[in-house]
Amino acid sequence: MNLYVPDNIFIQIFTNEPTVKQNYSIIPSPSSLVVRNLLNDKESIGLIPSLELINNKEIFVSSKIGISFDGLLSAAYLYFVKGERTIDKIYLRGDVSVNEALISKILFEERYSVDPEIILETSPKLTPQLDYLIAGDENFIDYKFKKGLSLADEISDLLNLPYVNYLLVSENRYNLESFNNSFKKIDTLIEDNIDNILSELGLSEDTRNFLTDNFNSIYYELTPNETEAIQELIKLVYYHGIIDDMIDIKFI
């Protein structure tokens, strides 16, 4: 069976767990394209950015498996110009998804009472005079993330709950239930193999050490805490007028 996923370090940790890798055909793509690929392959399952649910209300969502953060580890980081007094523009770059586009605006309104313009940036190089939100593995090139602010940490502080970044979904509830039942202890499976998994990803020693030291801030299992968290995140989107109605998430 096909498993469609975004292509970043945290997803690769999940898909390189031996039993996942042996039993599913892993198909990575940019985060913004995973839902489209998933919907074109009705029997498949996939990990999607969590706020894709606002445009895909009928899809089935695993209540057991996803990817959540509540600390320094994050799939996206904020970078600010040192010493600046105002922030009027945020440039998004990297593997940007609907999550980064919406959360960046909400976060600045909620935490800093500012409403910056959000701009998709495609330049091959960073400009030192600009403020950035970078999504994906670009953060882990040249240890860049050490100068950044974890988006996951900011959102989890705002919600007082973990930030549910990715959800496991499918249009076929039975295939999703099968995955749920096969990987009830996915956190344990990953933790038991984490050294081997990280060694296969070709990461720098500094990045491997950072991931290992902070691995207690990432969760591949969903608990009632995380299912509440995704509902609270969607409430934020609703309260900010981005969607007209709340979503009834079809957890299974």
* Same-domain check for residues 113 and 10: no
CA of 196: how far to CAs of 20, 77, 178, 199, in Å?
A: 14, 26, 26, 5
Q: What is the pLDDT of residues 85-96, one digit of tens each?
A: 788 999 999 999
Model confidence pTM above 0.85 = yes
- Outline where the chain has alpha helix (H): 9-15, 18-23, 34-39, 98-112, 151-159, 173-182, 186-200, 205-213, 224-239
- In this structure, the strands spanning 149-150 and 60-69 are unpaired
pLDDT at 168: 98
State the Cα–Cα distance between residues 213 and 201, nearest whole angstrom: 17
Query: Domain tally for the chain?
Result: 2
Q: What is the pLDDT of residues 95-104, one digit of tens each?
A: 999 999 999 9
Cα(249)–Cα(227) distance, rounded to whole angstroms? 10
Q: Indicate the average pLDDT of the chain.
A: 94
| 49 DSSP β-pair partners | 166
Q: Which residue has the tokens 């249009």?
A: 171
Q: Which domain holds residue 66?
A: 2-70+161-251
State the CATH number of the domain containing residue 22: 3.40.190.10
Same domain, 131 and 152: yes
